[in-house]
Every structure is written in C-alpha cells, then in structure tokens.
Structure 1
Amino acid sequence: MRPAVRETYGPDDLSRAPIFAGGFINFGYWQAIDLSGPLGEAERVRSQEDLYRHVLDAAGLGNDPAVLEVGCGLGMGCALTLREYGPAAVTGLDVHPEQLRRARGAQADLLRDEPGRLRFVQGAAERMPLPNGGFDAVISVEAAQHFPDLDAFAVEAARVLRPGGRVAVASFFTVDDAPGRPEEMAKLLETYANGLDIARPVTALTDAFRAAGLTGARVESIGPHVWQGWDRWLSQWWAPGTWPRNFLRAYEERILDYYVVTAARP
C-alpha cells in the first residue's frame, strides 16, 4: 500500500468529513440535481448514489449477477447495489484494513440479514485474492486514480471476470499524455503533489484493458455532470483559488476530466 493511501484512509475516517456526506467518498454525479438552489446533505448523498447508479448501469448487469467492487471503502456502493440491482452476491475489495473494518461495521445489518450475499475482502487491485472467472461485473468508483499499476489491475479484472462479463471504472484522468502533465497537476492540486492521486491519461486505462484481452473498451466523459456540482458543493468550505477548487479549473483548462471506462471479457 502506498504511504499516501495508508495515511489518507487510515486512522481518520474520511467519510465523516462534511464534503463526503452519507458515508460515500466520491465527487458525485450531479445531473439530476438543481445546482442553482441550496445544496444540503440530501442532494450530496443523491449525487454520490447517482454516480454508483451510472457506473452500475454502464456495467450492464444481467440477471442475478455476481458483482465485485474494487476499492469499496465503507461498502456504501455495495449496499446500494444489493438494494437496487438485485445481484446474487456482491464482494467489496479494499486494500486498506481500516476501511474494511469500517465497512463491516457500517454494513453490519446486511452482513447479518443477508448472509452469503455480501462479503468484504482485503486485497490490492493489482493482486486480487479471488478466484478466476468468479464475477459477472467488476466495478470501481473513484479509486483507480490511486492504483499504482493500471496494467496489473486490468489483468486481474480480466482474470476474475467470467466470459461475457464487464468492467466499469469511474475516475478522473488527464485528457492526454502531453509532456509535463504530472507537474501541472501537482501545482494545481495537493492530492497530486502528495502522491495520493497519480496523473495519467485515460488512454492508459483503455490501453491496459486491451492488452489484458478485454474488448470493446469505451470512454465516456461525464465531466459536465461532475465538476460543476462538485465545485458548487466545495464552495461552502473553500474560497475560489484554494486548491480544492482547482479541480474545476483543471477541467476548464482541458487538463483533467472525469470518465467512465468500460470493457468486456470475450
């Protein structure tokens, strides 16, 4: 585990921060939310749930699928999947033992009331302690920016998918691999400067999927439905010009964008 990931998701529960209301830790998908009016916790939680819904829809779940979430955090997305999509089973994988401890606490009722349908497993995206061909869908929501090796993640995703299974990843990437992009991101955003997030173009993920034998790799920009809402929410705590507000700036300057990337195992 990289030090920045260990420290960020370790002793302090990041999901308790007001910006991540409801236990989720993502920027949100704000398409269905009126950004001209007041934003409260209900709207914030809706944005985070809607990001999961968008990814799960992109994964094209069939009947009674087995779903794996890579980078599950507190398992809020796993719980939403069980509640709304009727899978046979959901596995939440996370590299951080503290996050898994919190997940088992946050989802204690589901673990007790629906035994066998939900489980949590510790492991890295690049080395999943899971069997070959065990899942119909692999999803990952706002975690891939932390993965040190996208090629290894793609190989593992292909390995654990059944034939015909699909992978759907939501995360933010640079729009291209122009020289100096990592340095630009480090100047704009503290999470790149401290090593928590890794500056890579979205093509690094599609290329990794293709090299791993996955087919039909598709990239969807959802930046118009992420960055404005995220910045509007952040404005309650941070003034313009502070580093968290630079996510929108990086998007507007065509340096960074938010994507959903999908592919399938033949």
Structure 2
Amino acid sequence: MISESIPPEVREVYGPADLSSVPAFAGGFINFGYWDGIDLDRPLTVADRVRSQRQMYRQVFEALTPPGAGGAGPAGRVLEVGCGLGLGCALAVEESGFAEVTGMDIHPQQLERAARENRGLLADRPARLSFRQGAAERMPFEDGRFDALYSVEAAQHFRDLSAFARETARVLRPGGRVVVAGFFPPRDAPDTPDRLAGMLDSFASGLDLAHPLDALTGALGDAGLESVRAESIGPRVWPGWDRWLVTVGYADAWSRHFLTAYREGLLDYYRVTAAAPSAPPPHGA
C-alpha cells in the first residue's frame, strides 16, 4: 500500500501539521519562491510571497518548452510529482498550453486538500486536471503516458533518486521532457549531511535528505535520459526566502540557516532538466 510507505516525517509534516498552513508558505504553494523582480529592500507582503511561488512554477514551465518550440509549451499530457495542494497544477492549466495536467502525491491528506482547493477547476475542466496518489519511486501510470514531467521542491523527500529517475524515464514518451526544481548540496562531501543536520531541523529530523546534486543528475543519466543539465537559480531564491522568513517572524529560527548553508556552499537551489531519447526513425526511412 502506498500510504504505508510514507516516511513518518513526511506523513506528519504534510498530514496533521499541514505545512501549507504555516506563515512561511503563505499562498499554499510550499516552495521557497523565485524572487526575481521583487524588491527585497521594502516590507514584503503576502502578495509578494504568492508572486514568488508562482514565479518558481513559471521557471519550471518555461524549461519544459522543447528547444526551438518558439516559446509554446508542450500541448500534451503533463505530470507533477509531489503536487501538494495542486496549486501548481492549477497554474499549469490556467497559464500553460498543456492539454492535460495530472498531480500526483504520496500523501492522501494532501490530495484531499488539493481536491478542495481546486474543486471549481476540477468541475469546470475535468478533462484537463486530475489528481492521483502515487510515490515518486513507483508511479501508477503506464509506459509513455506523459509528454512532460516536473517536480517542484519535492525531490529532497525522495528516498531513492535512482528509482525516481527510472520511473520518470518509463512514464515519459520518446522525446518527453523532465524538470526538477529543488535544493541539493552542490558536492558529495562526507561531512555535508551532518553539517546540514546541525544547522537545519528539516535535515536533522530526516524530512529532507542531503542528496548531492550529482546523485540526481547521475540517476537521470543512468536511467537513459539525455541532455541532463543543472542550473543554479539560488541567487533568485535564497535572499528572498530569508527576507520573507524575517517578515513573518522567523528572525531567530532554524529556518534562517538556509541562507547560511547556501553562503557556506553546503546547499544550493537548482533547476535540473533532461529529456527522454527520441523515437528511432522507422526502419528504412
């Protein structure tokens, strides 16, 4: 059973504790935000926070665009792995040219919340938006089901990046694209997990795992995906996230240490892209 495989830390934080309800994640998207164009030298507002979270998703949608597509997103079937409340899925339906968006999450309470948050959109556009329970390492979909797959700030919870990468390669059609946005240690240094655990409660508790960046990029490549690229977007994430934490009263809390970890080279925020191999030409073509 999928529910029985949920790590206890994930079960609590995304279940009874409802991370989306805390002030740090005002707006419900549960990501640190992409703060480009937002003035951090003035008092920040909830509108700024929501804008930053939406901008993070737009960075992901932009990267799903195939090279040479002229800015038009892939008008096909798209899967979000770790969809949370489904607000990113709703944004994909409302702003992108995706024909069908599926949000998948391992936690049943998150899916219940997603259904409530998006009940209007689910009623108005049932063919374009749906939600499904599933694990990143064991996706409940047939081979080649999706034209694109993305995940925003969920990979730090995945227990097996190799299994996630294999499942990603399996459910993508030939030529399909994947984008993962999230935070990872830049290097596989032996002391990094302990140092992060000493600075950040989410790593100490086991909620977040210190997967080095090359563990993800290597897993994607080993699964047969091509053109694997990792781009740091940390300069547009960490200062704004830290400024927002001060705004909502976390001035002396553990969460302020994300910026410290970034400045000390222990952690950065990346947009990772890859593509499934294209289908071979017909025999004799």
- TM-score norm. by structure 2 comes to 0.91
Work out the percentage of aligned pairs sharing the same amino acid: 61
Seen in structure 2, the aligned counterparts of structure 1 residues 180 and 63 have a Cα distance that, compared at 3 Å, is closer
Secondary structure of residue in 2 paired with 1:209:
helix
Mapped partners of 2:123, 2:211: distance in 1: 40
> Do structure 1's residue 20 and structure 2's residue 31 form an aligned pair?
no
Query: What CA distance in whole angstroms lies between the structure 1 residues aligned with 2:251 and 2:23?
Result: 16
Distance in structure 2 (CA, Å) of the matches to 1:70 and 1:176? 25
Once the two structures are TM-superposed, the CA of residue 64 in structure 1 deviates from its matched residue by 1.7
What is aligned with 1:50?
55
- Structure 1 unaligned blocks of 5 or more: none
Are 1:150 and 2:155 matched, yes or no?
A: no
- Post-superposition shift, 1:86? 2.2
Q: What does residue range 1-266 of structure 1 map to in structure 2 within 5 Å?
A: 1-60=6-65, 62-236=73-247, 237-240=249-252, 242-266=253-277
Amino acid at match of 1:50: Q
**Partner SS, residue 27 of structure 2:** helix
1:84-138 CA deviation, whole Å, 9 max, x = no partner?
0021100000000000000001000111001111110001000000111011110
Which stretch has the larger CA shift, 59-68 or 81-90?
A: 59-68
Distance 1:265 1:233 in 2: 37
Inter-partner Cα distance in structure 2 for 1:29 and 1:167: 19
Moved over 2 A (4+): none
Measure the CA separation in 1 of the matches of 2:93 and 2:61: 11
TM-score (norm 1): 0.98
Shift of the 179–63 alpha-carbon distance from structure 1 to 2, 3 Å rule, reads closer
Aligned partners of 2:77 and 2:246: how far apart in 1? 39
Query: Which residue type is aligned with residue 101 of structure 1?
Result: E
Which position in structure 1 is the counterpart of 2:70? none
Deviation at 1:13, TM superposition (A): 2.4
Q: What secondary structure does 1:23 align onto?
A: coil
SS in structure 1 opposite 2:26? helix
Amino acid at match of 1:43: D
Q: CA deviation at 1:63?
A: 4.2
Code of the residue aligned with 1:238 in structure 2: it is Y
Counterparts of 1:12 and 1:182 in 2: how far apart (Å)? 25
Q: Return the alpha-carbon distance in structure 2 between the equivalents of residues 224 and 259 of structure 1.
A: 10
Amino acid at match of 1:60: T
The offset of 1:15, in angstroms, is: 1.2
- Provide the rounded CA distance (Å) in 1 between the counterparts of 2:17 and 2:11: 11
Amino acid at match of 1:203: D
Paired with 2:48 and 2:211, the residues of 1 have a C-alpha distance of: 30
C-alpha distance in 1 between matches for 2:74 and 2:260:
41
- Unpaired segments of 5 or more residues in structure 2? 1-5, 67-72, 278-285
String of CA shifts for 1:149-184, please: whole Å, max 9, x gaps. Answer: 000000000001011100000010001011111101
In 1, distance between residues paired with 2:74 and 2:84? 25
Report the residue type matching 1:239 in the other structure: A
CA RMSD of aligned residues (A): 0.9
